[in-house]
Amino acid sequence: MAERANILYILTDQQAASALSCAGNTDLHTPAMDSLAAAGVRFERAYCSQPLCIPSRSTMITGLMPHETNIYHRTPADTLPDELQDRELGTVFAAAGYECVYGGKWHLPGRTIPDGHGFRKISDMGDDQLAERCVEFLRQPHERPFLLVASFHNPHDICQWARNQPLPEGPIPAAPLEECPTLPANFPIPPFEPEVVRLISQANPHLYLAARYSPEEWRQYRHAYYRLVEKVDAAIGRILAALREEGLEEDTVVIFSSDHGDGMGAHQWSLKSALYEEPTRIPLIVSFEGRARSGCVDTAHLVSNGLDLLPTLCDYAGIAPPAGLRGRSFRPLVESAEAPAWRDHLVVETSWRGAGPGKEVVQTAGRMLRTARYKYVVYNWGRYREQLFDLEADPGEMVNLAVSARHRDVLDRHRKLLHDWCRENDDPFGAPRAHRGRSAIPGYEYAAADDGA
C-alpha cells in the first residue's frame, strides 16, 4: 500500500440509505454499490448535514455545518464564501501535493466546478460522460497520489420525473402497476406531524407535485426512483472495474455516499428537506483492500458525511485537517472493531422557504438531533412543531412521543442536548448569546442578552 493513499470519492445525488440492495431492499439491484459494501464497511447510522443539495455539499467540501457556511438554500446567491477557500477539500489536498480532479455535478451552485477550488475539472455534469472521463483518468500514469471526486447526478432525475419533465440523464422505462414496488409500511402521514411540513410543501407546489399523488402514482414514483438508482449504479460499476483492472485497489480508498436522501413515499413525502429518516439518512460505504474490515455493517456509530468526510480524507492522506473542524475521522471505525470513543448524538439542519397562498414568503428552519435510540425534531413555528421518535420500537417514525406526558423526561433530555449543541456550535437556531433573538427550542426561549438557559 502507498504511504499516502489515493482517494476515490463517489457521490450520488438524492439517494436514501435504504436504496441499496445490500441494505436488504429487494425492489432494486445495485451490484456496484453492493461490491463496495462486501469489501468494506457500510455505516447504517450515517446522516447528511442538511437534506438539500447545496447546503449538504457545502458541508462536505468544508467540514462546516450549513449555519457556518451560511448556505441554507439552493439559489445562485448560496455559494461558498471566499474566506473559506483556503480550507476547502480541493485546496487543502492540492497544497499537500495531491493531484486533485473533479468530475460531474458541483452544485455550489452551478452545474460544474469553476476554477479556484483546488481541482482540475475532468467532466461536465452528465453521468455517462463522467464515468468515461473517470475511467480515462484511472488508466493514466500517476506520479502523485490522487483525489478523484466522481459526483453523479442520479437518482436526482426523480425531481423531473415527478414534474412530468424530460429527464436530464435520459428516459427510464415505465412499468405496469403490478410490477411497481408496494407502498412502504410508513406510507400514512403520522398523527401530530408538525403542520409546517405540509404548509411548506403547499407553498412550493412546483416542487412537491407528488403531494397530490394517488397510492397508485406513489408506487410508480418508487419504481422510477429505483430504476434511476440502478442506472447510476451501472455507471459507478464502470469506474470500479477500471480501478481493479489498473491494479489500484490496494492503493486507493473508495468512499461512496450521497448528498441527501429522498422521501420515497414514506409519510407521502417526495424529494427532500423534511427531517424524516428517508431524506436525512444516506448511504456511506468505505472500501480499502487490505485495510477495511470487509463485509462489515456498522450499526452503532452516528456518522455525518458532511462533518466527518474532510477529517477522514485528511487522515487517509496524512494531511493535517483545517483547524477548528468539529467532525472526526471515521477511519478507525473502518479498520478496527476496537473503535475509539465516539459521539453520542448528531445534529442535522434544515431550512425551507416558498410562497404562500397570498404570495407571502413562508419560511421555516428546523433541527434534528439523533441519539442512540431516539430522534428529536423541532421546527421554529407551527402546531406540533416537535417530534420525538423511538427508532428502536418505531423505525418508521409513526408515533410522535413528543405529545406524550410519559416521555417528558426523554423529550426534555433531547431538548437540552440540542440546546447545548447550538450554544457550543454558535448555531442561531438555539439563539446563543452571540445572536439576537430567541431560542427555537421549547424550554430555552431566552433572549440574546440572557446569561443562561
pLDDT tens digits, one per residue of 419-444: 999 999 999 999 765 565 678 999 98
In 46-98, which ranges are E strands?
Answer: 46-47
User: What mean pLDDT, rounded, does the chain reach?
Assistant: 92
Block residue for cell numbers 439552493: 74
- Under 8 Å between Cβ of 162 and 270: yes
CA distances from 170 to 21, 228, 426, 451 (A): 23, 10, 44, 57
Q: Which CATH superfamily is domain 6-335 in?
A: Alkaline Phosphatase, subunit A (3.40.720.10)
Phi, psi of 157 (to 5 degrees): -60, -10
- Under 8 Å between Cβ of 194 and 385: yes
Q: What mean pLDDT do residues 342-368 have?
A: 82
pLDDT at 447 over 50: no
Q: What angle do CA 370, 395, 51 make, to 5 degrees?
A: 50
Residue 146: strand pairing partners:
99
Q: What mean pLDDT do residues 310-325 have?
A: 96
pLDDT band at 79 (very low <50, low <70, confident <90, very high): confident
Residue 436: the pLDDT is 58
pLDDT band at 360 (very low <50, low <70, confident <90, very high): low
Domain ranges (residues) in the chain:
6-335, 373-430
Give residue-wise pLDDT tens across range 226-253.
Answer: 999 999 999 999 999 999 999 999 999 9
Block residue for cell numbers 448524538: 345
pLDDT at 356 over 60: no
pLDDT band at 326 (very low <50, low <70, confident <90, very high): very high
Give residue-wise pLDDT tens across range 85-121.
Answer: 899 999 999 999 999 999 999 988 888 898 889 999 9
Residue 208: the pLDDT is 73
The C-alpha atoms of residue 177 and residue 309 are separated, in whole angstroms, by 40
Give residue-wise pLDDT tens across range 144-190.
Answer: 999 999 999 999 999 999 988 999 999 999 999 999 999 999 999 99
pLDDT at 71 over 60: yes
Residue 211: the pLDDT is 74
pLDDT at 450 over 50: no
Residue 338: the pLDDT is 82
pLDDT band at 73 (very low <50, low <70, confident <90, very high): confident
The C-alpha atoms of residue 330 and residue 63 are separated, in whole angstroms, by 13
| Cell matching residue 410 | 426523554
Of 318, 320, 375, 351, give the one whose Cα is nearest residue 58. 351
- Under 8 Å between Cβ of 220 and 162: no
pLDDT band at 29 (very low <50, low <70, confident <90, very high): very high
Q: What angle do CA 280, 428, 301 make, to 5 degrees?
A: 35
Q: What is the pTM of this model?
A: 0.94
pLDDT band at 453 (very low <50, low <70, confident <90, very high): very low
Give residue-wise pLDDT tens across range 178-203.
Answer: 999 999 999 999 999 999 998 888 87
CA distances from 188 to 135, 181, 224, 267 (A): 44, 16, 20, 5
pLDDT at 449 over 50: no
The C-alpha atoms of residue 17 and residue 55 are separated, in whole angstroms, by 19
Choose the weakest-confidence range: 222-226, 335-339, 449-453.
Answer: 449-453
Q: What mean pLDDT do residues 369-377 have?
A: 98
